[in-house]
Chains A and B, each alone.
Chain A
């Protein structure tokens, strides 16, 4: 490691530590005024009453404040719940807006300074660490030492990294009130982009995008000499930055609905929720365009693009989850399970999620058109269950937190309903396949080892069989790491695409297809 990489790593770690410490800064003081401005009209009176005991009290940390808040709030709610007065229970979570409002901290005073010290240093450090990787080496495969690395082979550092990611996702999804310092820190950026204060989701979107960009630079270096890898990395960096992050914020600035034009149902599982539909319908021409665009992507975009290019057009060129997996997750791709057993689980789970998403959406739409007479508010329960179990726990906590344990595509492989839909098209009606180069395979196993989707690529390659698998996201790494030039991602005629009984050429004694 040269000095510049060492400095980069050092800066990154300082930034990371700052990011972990900053949430605990500052003091929290609540007042009646803050409660009234941050609660809904119907709850104002009650919340005022519940929280009045802590008005004017100064809490020295988020932990102290949120515990006092919780105590008062829960006492009220729990007594109502025990009396089964469900309609009087306050279901809204006011901890985040009130903590954000009650905070007095140097972070809130000087957001840019703290942003620079945490996220800024981490990004700068990450960039310095990455931008010269493998300089002075000739272009080629850079997998040296991966299984001797503690981070990349489930060693202590890997375990710690995974645990940190899991913890971060749990706090982000269910306890965002602890992160208000970090949210204040990115407030100016949010104000600049959308004219609105930042939420925890803005913070998350920003970190997510920066992570893809910094680790995208690493991909450019690692795959020097491989145009396919470089182009698709540039593509996911672009789609994340422009489509997932900037455009939705700018739309809000222009008084239009927040919308990610590349997110597709059923990954975008709330696309047909009543409040989304209402937003589209009240959004004028632009809202209507979004609704039609979203539907066209589902019924025309997915089948047509997948027919011509395979599901890779989305999963490893456009998708945000895929973007993170292919950049931040690339160091962990070798940890996916290649066993037949894992494949069996994969098919049950991912198609189960697809069925669940479709059922939920069908009920939602039926309910919507029946004017909510069909199921009433039951769909809301369904939505919160799906949002909790799939949207947050599976896609977030497991999907990213498990990178260092199960590889970088856990969500995409086992959970993503859109991947399942794309996969069905890819398997049964597509021109895409990975071809194997005659008899050249030496069964070395690099392809299978580095397949992030856990496909045993070698199984096919050594029998000279095309690889046509619904899960393949077409990342092209099997082809890149093959030392004998055996694998090629190709779009071609459907005829003979699936060859169940391949013949390995080169032996004229017998022509066996076993």
Chain B
């Protein structure tokens, strides 16, 4: 054996890949092996829906060309890990083959939640997370599906609804809550998305849960029964009620796990030289007051990966995320958020400014503390600049200052309607403020870019 350290990363999602890439950049000597049974080459999980809808081919979802890995001396191992021998420091593949490591990084991501519904393992019932899930969904929806039911109102659920709509399969969308994604969105935003879902002819059923999935004689889904007792005939059921860490093969070992692999702020598990990052990791203590113990978005996966790579090559620093941000797209409506906007808040502590365009498809919300300083924003149907809000929230600008400079925060393409002018006028009307709303430029007037 050579003297070089061998870092083995299980999982080639965004966190594992980011960790591998940054390791290589920081240390040209380290040997890196990236293991995945799902797909040899890294792909963007968030883009699977576009493959289904024919916007892209699968290879378009791969951010790096195939020669990238060899050039950067990152060994790719296409295999599933069946277990890890932490004592002797090797992983065992399902083929029985072994691979030794000096440092192990667990980045195995998530799997769709299943809550023990009767019939949840029938043919035609599935979640959407992996490449294999996509292939299965493509195969099942090829023919013979005259209606689909989606269970769980989150981002994957609405993506699945959009995918099925592409195949012209009518969709019934069961959402447990009273509003779409209202565990994360305030009422007005939730209503806005709900209206847009209906506009796309998706049969949205709020406050309705799945009770049971019924099979036909071939063991394939025939219908679902909802909490209201209704039976909905369908040949496809999408289970999209969130995800859970994908760590079953690590349970009942000396590795300490709870819902995810337990880690400290340095991504260290209870076993030396074993780390966990991304969706599958569970912090002992949430990384910040507005964060959860398990962080399951693309951006946090990337930050975990880059921070751990740094820590493996330098004096370790604790993971310390900055101002929260996220984005999504609900059918045709884009959504961005900077800082944390909770679904509800204490009105004696927090002031909310909400503006919605007459179309009902564009809105902006800013939360401020009692002193009027910005806490967070939500924007739907138009684009805002990350850098601007990262700075404004970090430096605790006054809401007035934020709004007065909103033109600079605009990230919509040229000639788009200048919504920020209307937002400025609405803010001034509600909260006052010593600024003048921006004026439409000559070009905006000329080309009729009105709001």
Contacts and interface: CB of A to CB of B under 8 A. Distances in A.
Interface residues of A, number: 49
A444 interface: yes
Given A228-B414, A442-B46, A138 B196 contact: yes
A476 interface: yes
A270 to B, nearest CB: 35
A359 interface: no
Contacts of A340: 65
Interface stretch (B56-64, B83-91, B98-106, B206-214): B56-64
Interface stretch (B28-36, B254-262, B328-336): B328-336
Contacts of A367: none
A226 interface: yes
A144 B413 contact: no
B342 interface: no
B385 to A, nearest CB: 6
A437 interface: yes
Contact of B44 (A141, A231, A442, A489): A442
Interface stretch (A65-73, A164-172, A502-510): A502-510
B416 A227 contact: yes
B353 interface: no
B386 A508 contact: no
A448 B200 contact: no
Contact of B299 (A439, A446, A488): A439
B449 interface: yes
B53 A509 contact: no
Interface stretch (A7-15, A145-153, A285-293, A414-422): A145-153
Contacts of B55: 141, 143-144, 146-147, 446, 449, 481
Interface string A12-46: 00000000000000000000000000000000000
A489 B383 CA distance: 13
Given A442-B298, A485-B336, A227 B63 contact: no
A139 interface: yes
A205 interface: no
A509 B318 contact: yes
Contacts of A446: 47, 50, 55-56
Given A147-B54, A228-B416, A484-B334, A506 B447 contact: no
A233 interface: no
A480 B386 CA distance: 18
Given A228-B415, A444-B50, A509 B320 contact: yes
Contact of B307 (A138, A480, A507): A507
A483 interface: yes
B229 to A, nearest CB: 34
Contacts of A481: 55
B322 A148 contact: no
B14 A443 contact: yes
Interface string A417-443: 000000000000000000001111011
Interface string B377-391: 000000111110010
B279 interface: no
B303 interface: yes
B322 A505 contact: yes
Interface string A214-235: 0000000000001110010000
Given A231-B415, A439-B299, A442-B298, 6 more contacts: A144-B55, A147-B56, A444-B47, A449-B55, A484-B329, A507-B307
Interface of B: 14, 22, 25-26, 44, 46-47, 50, 53-57, 60-63, 65, 166, 196, 199-200, 298-299, 302-303, 306-307, 310, 317-323, 325, 327-329, 331-332, 334, 336, 361, 383-387, 390, 411-417, 447, 449
